[in-house]
């Protein structure tokens, strides 16, 4: 008897929970007057969820600017976490209108989604301790202990092309690598310079680390959107062009990467 | 039992115990000092790495508490779905019909043999390929699916063991009263078995809570452990401090559940002449429970 | 359907070999550590009893994932413990063994304690009457019987440990679950095949353990 009522109660709870889950899950890219944009939640300098529940970083600022040009003010934006492995899925399923999340344009991704931009050019680089001058060229890496994030293109790059003999540690996130770097368990952390600069400019870490400045690859950050949506792509491209020409781009880059001394490149030309 | 292993210490044994105590204390202190000193040398004990958890309430409201909520949500959903499913499977395994008993037994053994992490990963891949569940909920669904499949089969075994510990006479008496098989199970056997099983079921909750952390580490489920990454991204890679705080939260939560389980057990033992009491007191009916606990 | 297996792209046997090694080393380690813990738990020295009880209660209530991540971040990345390994691959493996031993030892301790409880008090009293010391009572009389009585719970711990080795993926040990994750992401049209392969592998690993130890438990049980 007891069991039966428990089971019934269980069923009710489950139904209620799935119902709410479906209800909130069904809103896609843009319904009504809101827009959903995919960003990173855990990358300082690019896309970061801050303790007050807001979002900060260069990607976030670019997304806000573009949204404003598309006619959505800041309070009309729903931010959605877009982890690296999920970006194509989010776009294809229509969960987000577009993705601004350190999203490098490459041929493999172009098969699945379209890109507006690029809006930023960066390179794979190394972050080392501020007092470490032993790495000056790519070949130096072969005798070093490197750290990167599991499954990232930077990690593959090192293994396959740049320094196959380097001892590469792959961890779940950049913070883990930073702990090792700070305590000399690893010699360098490698990924896009923009991401590294974001960490290096954090107030707790300022002065502890520096970028080596090796340009080990070209990464053009684009805004990912649904394949074939040329109308949106055109609009975003126009917004990006305006952002560069009216000086906002320069201002945003300075604000987000300034403290690290990161030598960023001029705004790349939009690929029409 | 433990007190019968050694005599009441006399003067020499007392002295020896004091020496052991001092040596052991010295070893503990040495290890503790080495760890703390090394942490201090690496600036891991600096105030700015720890102060956010004390001075900045936003760390709690933005990351830790929502993470804890997700953990509890996944655990609650899993137990609520796994309980009836497990009970059904357990009863199915006790069925008189071979065609029910054998397939159910195979199913239970299969899911008990597969690591719960692999079940979660597989579920996640299935949801990604064959459903349109949004990426916000897919990790939760995958974690709950994996936990339900595994824990339902564990609960099935607990239920079966619970029913089997009942004296045969209970079932026979019910049959003699003219009850049907379903009635016997529902009105006579299960209600008695539940009291035997309850502590084991609460212990299983601890296992479930711990296993939700798998989803956070490897599937991108936004539970308590996964908040580590977002907190450390905001406060200058204070990974050690964050991990310690998160571990403490898990320990307190699970300690409460464990205490609840042992309270329940004590109360049931005292209140009712349940079958486990008829076993020799030292044997302590540990079989069902230890299995549930070690199935971590 | 199985063509991706022939491509040589995935080292299935290698991954399962790592899993088996992880399970083997951790099993030996946790048996030793668990025995030491249970000896402390029943010892005449109050401080040791207190330490063992506290250790078991704390570690058993911590998720294994947290234990392993703490080994990596705390011991390796911060304190610089490498356990004598040179490359990160070996460090990951050895740290995983260490973490699994620290965690599984608590369950071994509990299994043995339940085994000790099955030994009639008269045995210990008789041993003490013969003038045996605490370590002698434990070593010669209690533990041999306790081990025989706790084969079944220890078998369950071993099976759980074998399955728990998959968590080592969280700190980058190159074992089965990491490979399965990669395969599930790449071979999207063969999800069920991939899962079936790994499920089969684990059944092969755990089923004989259960059967052999179940048989052994019956053979070894102390007849009373």
CATH number of the domain bearing residue C20: 1.10.3720.10
Q: Which residue has the tokens 């703390």?
A: B36
Chain C residue closest in CA terms to A166: C87
**HEC sequence for B252-283:** HHHHHHHHHHHHHHHHHHHHCCCHHHHCCCCC
Task: State the pairing for strand pair A145-149/A209-211.
Answer: unpaired
Q: How far is CA C97 from the centre of its chain?
A: 9
Residue C20 lies in a domain: yes
pLDDT of residue A67: 92
pLDDT of residue C203: 93
Give the list of residues 6+ apart from residue A271 with CB closer than 8 angstroms, or none: A105, A115, A117, A118
- b/e sequence A124-134, b meaning 16+ C-beta within 10 Å: bbbbbbeebee
Q: Residue A135 and residue A154: Cα distance in Å, rounded?
A: 17
Q: Which residues of A touch B63 (CB under 8 A)?
A: 51
HSE at residue A70, side-chain half, CA atoms within 13 A, is: 26
Angle, CA of C13, C14 and C17, to the nearest 5°: 85
To the nearest 5 percent, what fractions of chain C are helix, strand and coil? 85, 0, 15
Residue C1 lies in a domain: no
Cβ–Cβ gap C63/B293 under 8 Å? no
What percent of chain B has a predicted confidence (pLDDT) above 70?
90
* pLDDT over 80 at A234, yes or no: yes
Residue C101 lies in a domain: yes
Q: Can you tell me whether residue B49 is helix, strand or coil?
A: helix
Asked if B294 is an interface residue toward chain C (Cβ–Cβ < 8 A), one would say yes
Please report the DSSP string for A8-52 in residue order. HHHHHHHHHHHHHHHHHH---S--TT-EEEEE-SEETTTEEE-TT
Cα torsion B232, B237, B243, B245 to 10°: value is -70
pLDDT of residue B284: 32
Cβ–Cβ gap B287/C70 under 8 Å? no
Question: Which tops the pLDDT comparison, B278 or C18?
Answer: C18
pLDDT of residue B235: 83
Q: Point out the least confidently predicted range of B290-294, C60-64, C92-96.
A: B290-294
Q: Point out the least confidently predicted range of C79-83, C137-141, C198-202.
A: C79-83
Asked if C185 is an interface residue toward chain A (Cβ–Cβ < 8 A), one would say yes
Minimal C-alpha gap between B152 and chain A (Å): 14
Please report the DSSP string for A125-138 in residue order. EEEEETT-----SG
Which subunits sit against A, judged by 3+ Cβ pairs under 8 A? B, C
Chain A residue closest in CA terms to C92: A169
* pLDDT over 90 at B270, yes or no: no
pLDDT tens column, B93-107? 999 899 999 999 999
Minimal C-alpha gap between B152 and chain C (Å): 16
Q: Decide if C195 contacts B124 (C-beta within 8 A).
A: no
Burial category of B235 from C-beta neighbours within 10 Å (exposed 0-12, middle 13-18, buried 19 and up): buried
- Sign of dihedral through CA atoms B127, B128, B130, B132? positive
Q: Can you tell me whether residue B211 is helix, strand or coil?
A: helix
* pLDDT over 50 at B167, yes or no: yes
Q: Residue A197 and residue A57: Cα distance in Å, rounded?
A: 11
Q: Calculate the alpha carbon distances from C79 to A108, B35, B77, B235, C27 in Å.
A: 41, 8, 39, 21, 26
Give the list of residues 6+ apart from residue B151 with CB closer than 8 angstroms, or none: B78, B79, B82, B86, B204, B207, B208
Asked if C76 is an interface residue toward chain A (Cβ–Cβ < 8 A), one would say yes
Asked if B46 is an interface residue toward chain A (Cβ–Cβ < 8 A), one would say no
pLDDT of residue C103: 96
Q: Point out the least confidently predicted range of A26-40, A184-198, B118-132.
A: A26-40
DSSP A266: P
DSSP A192: E
Question: Which tops the pLDDT comparison, A271 or A106?
Answer: A106
Asked if C181 is an interface residue toward chain B (Cβ–Cβ < 8 A), one would say yes
* pLDDT over 70 at B217, yes or no: yes
The rounded radius of gyration (Å) of the Cα atoms in chain B is: 24
> In the structure, what pLDDT confidence band is assigned to residue C6 with cuts at 50, 70 and 90?
low
pLDDT tens column, A82-123? 888 788 888 888 888 999 999 989 888 888 899 997 999 999
Q: Domains in chain C: how many in total? A: 1
Among A82, A113, A122, A108, which Cα is nearest to A236's?
A113
Asked if C132 is an interface residue toward chain B (Cβ–Cβ < 8 A), one would say no
- b/e sequence B266-279, b meaning 16+ C-beta within 10 Å: eebbeeeebbbeee
Minimal C-alpha gap between A93 and chain C (Å): 17
Residue C78 lies in a domain: yes
Q: Calculate the alpha carbon distances from A199 to A206, A253, B217 in Å.
A: 9, 15, 21
Note the pTM of the prediction, 2 decimals: 0.86
Asked if C7 is an interface residue toward chain B (Cβ–Cβ < 8 A), one would say no
Q: How many residues comprise chain C? A: 224
Asked if C80 is an interface residue toward chain A (Cβ–Cβ < 8 A), one would say yes
Q: Decide if A181 contacts A147 (C-beta within 8 A).
A: yes
Q: What are the φ and ψ backbone dihedral angles of B168, each rounded to 5 degrees?
A: -55, -35
Cβ–Cβ gap B239/C73 under 8 Å? yes
- pLDDT (average), residues B126-133: 85
Mutate to test the interface with C, among B40, B67, B254, B290 (most CBs of C within 10 A): B290
Asked if B132 is an interface residue toward chain A (Cβ–Cβ < 8 A), one would say yes
Residues 233-252 of A with CB under 8 A from B: none
Cβ–Cβ gap C87/A172 under 8 Å? no
Cβ–Cβ gap C80/A184 under 8 Å? yes
Minimal C-alpha gap between B268 and chain A (Å): 16
Q: Which residue has the tokens 């529902």?
A: B186
Residue C5 lies in a domain: no
Asked if A111 is an interface residue toward chain B (Cβ–Cβ < 8 A), one would say no
* pLDDT over 50 at B295, yes or no: no
* pLDDT over 50 at A22, yes or no: no
Q: Residue C39 and residue C138: Cα distance in Å, rounded?
A: 8
Q: Decide if C76 contacts B55 (C-beta within 8 A).
A: no
Q: Decide if B108 contacts B93 (C-beta within 8 A).
A: yes
Among B248, B289, B284, which Cα is nearest to B269's?
B284
Q: Calculate the alpha carbon distances from B271 to A266, B168, B266 in Å.
A: 78, 22, 8
Task: State the pairing for strand pair A209-211/A124-129.
Answer: antiparallel
Q: Residue A120 and residue A175: Cα distance in Å, rounded?
A: 23
Residues 6-45 of B with CB under 8 A from C: 6-7, 9, 13, 17, 20-21, 24-25, 28, 35, 38-39, 42, 44
Among A233, B118, A154, B227, which Cα is nearest to C176's?
B118
Residue C38 lies in a domain: yes
Q: Residue A146 and residue A152: Cα distance in Å, rounded?
A: 13
* Tokens coding A124: 């794979």
Asked if C170 is an interface residue toward chain A (Cβ–Cβ < 8 A), one would say yes
Q: Can you tell me whether residue A114 is helix, strand or coil?
A: strand
Q: Which residue has the tokens 């890219």?
A: A29
Among B111, B155, B116, B93, which Cα is nearest to B288's?
B155
pLDDT of residue B37: 92
pLDDT of residue C1: 54
Chain A residue closest in CA terms to B220: A83
Task: State the pairing for strand pair A55-56/A47-49.
Answer: antiparallel
Q: What is the ipTM of this complex?
A: 0.91
Cβ–Cβ gap A167/C172 under 8 Å? no
Q: Can you tell me whether residue A122 is helix, strand or coil?
A: strand
Q: Can you tell me whether residue A59 is helix, strand or coil?
A: helix
Question: Which tops the pLDDT comparison, A55 or A93?
Answer: A55
Q: Which domains does chain A have, with CATH numbers?
A: 28-122+219-260 (3.40.190.10), 124-211 (3.40.190.10)
What percent of chain C has a predicted confidence (pLDDT) above 90?
57
Cβ–Cβ gap C114/B286 under 8 Å? yes
Burial category of B33 from C-beta neighbours within 10 Å (exposed 0-12, middle 13-18, buried 19 and up): exposed
Give the list of residues 6+ apart from residue B99 with CB closer than 8 angstroms, or none: none
Q: Calculate the alpha carbon distances from A252 to A51, A61, A248, A256, A257 in Å.
A: 21, 7, 6, 6, 8
Minimal C-alpha gap between C8 and chain B (Å): 22
- b/e sequence C158-191, b meaning 16+ C-beta within 10 Å: bbbbbbbbbbbbbbbbbbbbbbbbbbbeebeebb
Q: Decide if A252 contacts A61 (C-beta within 8 A).
A: yes
Number of CB pairs, chain A paired with chain B, less than 8 A apart: 108
Q: Residue A124 and residue A122: Cα distance in Å, rounded?
A: 7
pLDDT of residue C186: 81
Q: How many residues comprise chain B? A: 296
Q: How far is CA B91 from the centre of its chain?
A: 23
Q: Of the candidates A168, A179, A186, which has its C-beta nearest C73's C-beta?
A: A179
Q: Residue B296 and residue C100: Cα distance in Å, rounded?
A: 12
Question: Residue C19 sits in which domain range?
Answer: 12-220
pLDDT of residue A15: 44
* pLDDT over 80 at B292, yes or no: no
Minimal C-alpha gap between C24 and chain B (Å): 17
Q: What are the φ and ψ backbone dihedral angles of B95, each rounded to 5 degrees?
A: -60, 155
Residues 194-213 of C with CB under 8 A from B: 195, 198-199, 202-203, 206-207
Asked if A50 is an interface residue toward chain B (Cβ–Cβ < 8 A), one would say yes
* pLDDT over 70 at B154, yes or no: yes
Q: Considering chain C, what is the average pLDDT of its residues?
A: 90
Mutate to test the interface with B, among A1, A2, A3, A101 (most CBs of B within 10 A): A3
pLDDT tens column, A44-53? 889 988 888 8
């Amino acid at each position: 008897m007891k069991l039966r009522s428990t089971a019934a109660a269980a069923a009710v709870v489950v139904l209620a929970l799935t119902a709410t889950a479906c209800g909130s899950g069904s809103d896609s890219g843009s319904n009504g007057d809101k827009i959903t944009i995919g960003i990173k939640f855990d990358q300082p300098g690019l896309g970061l969820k801050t303790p007050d529940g807001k979002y900060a970083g260069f990607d976030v600022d670019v997304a806000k600017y573009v949204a404003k040009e598309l006619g959505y003010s800041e309070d009309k934006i729903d931010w959605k976490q877009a982890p690296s492995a999920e970006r194509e899925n989010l776009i294809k399923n229509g969960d987000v209108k577009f993705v601004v999340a350190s999203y490098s344009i490459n041929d493999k991704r172009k098969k699945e989604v379209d890109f507006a931009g690029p809006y930023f050019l960066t390179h794979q680089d190394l972050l080392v301790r501020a007092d470490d001058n032993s790495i000056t060229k790519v070949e130096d890496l072969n005798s070093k202990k490197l750290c990167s994030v599991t499954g990232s293109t930077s990690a593959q790059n090192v293994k396959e092309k740049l320094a196959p003999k380097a001892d590469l540690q792959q961890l779940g996130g950049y913070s883990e690598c930073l702990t090792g770097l700070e305590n000399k368990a690893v010699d360098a952390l490698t990924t896009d310079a923009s991401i590294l600069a974001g960490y290096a400019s954090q107030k707790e870490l300022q002065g502890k680390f520096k970028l080596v400045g090796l340009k080990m690859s070209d990464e053009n950050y684009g805004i990912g959107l649904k394949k074939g949506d040329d109308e949106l792509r055109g609009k975003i491209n126009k917004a990006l062009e305006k952002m560069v020409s009216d000086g906002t781009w320069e201002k945003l880059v300075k604000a987000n990467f300034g403290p690290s001394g990161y030598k960023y490149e001029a705004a790349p030309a939009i690929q029409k | 039992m433990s007190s019968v292993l050694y005599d009441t210490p006399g003067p020499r044994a007392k002295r020896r115990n004091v020496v052991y105590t001092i040596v052991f204390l010295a070893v503990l202190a040495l290890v503790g000092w080495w760890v703390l000193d090394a942490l201090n040398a690496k600036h891991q004990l600096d105030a700015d790495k720890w102060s956010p958890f004390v001075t900045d309430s936003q760390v709690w409201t933005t990351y830790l508490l929502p993470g804890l909520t997700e953990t509890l949500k996944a655990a609650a959903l899993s137990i609520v779905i796994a309980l009836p499913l497990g009970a059904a499977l357990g009863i199915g395994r006790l069925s008189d019909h071979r065609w029910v008993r054998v397939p159910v037994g195979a199913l239970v053994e299969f899911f008990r043999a597969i690591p719960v992490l692999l079940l979660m990963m597989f579920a996640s891949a299935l949801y990604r390929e064959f459903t349109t569940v949004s990426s916000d909920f897919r990790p939760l669904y995958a974690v709950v699916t994996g936990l339900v499949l595994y824990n339902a089969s564990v609960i099935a075994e607990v239920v079966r063991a619970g029913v089997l510990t009942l004296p045969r006479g209970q079932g026979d008496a019910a049959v003699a009263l003219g009850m049907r098989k379903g009635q016997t199970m529902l009105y006579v056997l299960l209600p008695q078995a539940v009291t035997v099983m309850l502590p084991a079921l609460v212990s299983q909750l601890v296992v479930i809570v711990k296993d939700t952390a798998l989803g956070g580490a490897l599937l991108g489920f936004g539970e308590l452990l996964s908040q580590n990454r977002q907190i450390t991204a905001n406060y200058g890679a204070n990974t050690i401090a964050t991990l310690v705080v998160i571990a403490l939260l898990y320990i307190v939560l699970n300690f409460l559940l464990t205490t609840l389980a042992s309270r329940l057990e004590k109360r049931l033992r005292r209140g009712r002449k349940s079958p486990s009491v008829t076993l020799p007191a030292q044997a302590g009916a540990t079989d069902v429970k230890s299995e549930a606990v070690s199935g971590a | 359907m199985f063509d991706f297996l022939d491509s040589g792209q995935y080292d299935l046997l290698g991954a399962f070999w790592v899993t088996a090694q992880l399970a083997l080393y951790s099993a030996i380690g946790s048996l030793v550590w668990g025995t030491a813990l249970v000896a402390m738990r029943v010892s005449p020295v109050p401080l040791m009893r207190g330490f063992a009880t506290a250790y078991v209660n704390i570690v058993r209530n911590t998720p294994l994932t947290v234990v392993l991540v703490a080994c990596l971040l705390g011991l390796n990345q911060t304190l610089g413990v490498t356990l004598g390994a040179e490359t990160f691959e070996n460090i990951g493996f050895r740290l995983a063994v260490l973490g699994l031993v620290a965690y599984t030892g608590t369950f071994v301790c509990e299994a043995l304690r339940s085994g000790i409880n099955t030994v009639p008090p008269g045995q210990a009293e008789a041993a003490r009457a013969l003038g045996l010391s605490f370590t002698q009572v434990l070593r010669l009389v209690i533990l041999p019987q306790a081990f025989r009585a706790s084969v079944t719970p220890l078998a369950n711990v071993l099976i759980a440990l074998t399955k728990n080795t998959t968590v080592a993926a969280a700190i980058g040990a190159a074992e089965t679950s990491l490979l399965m994750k990669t395969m599930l992401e790449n071979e999207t049209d063969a999800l069920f095949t991939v899962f079936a392969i790994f499920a089969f592998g684990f059944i092969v690993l755990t089923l004989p353990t259960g059967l052999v130890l179940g048989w052994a438990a019956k053979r070894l049980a102390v007849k009373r």
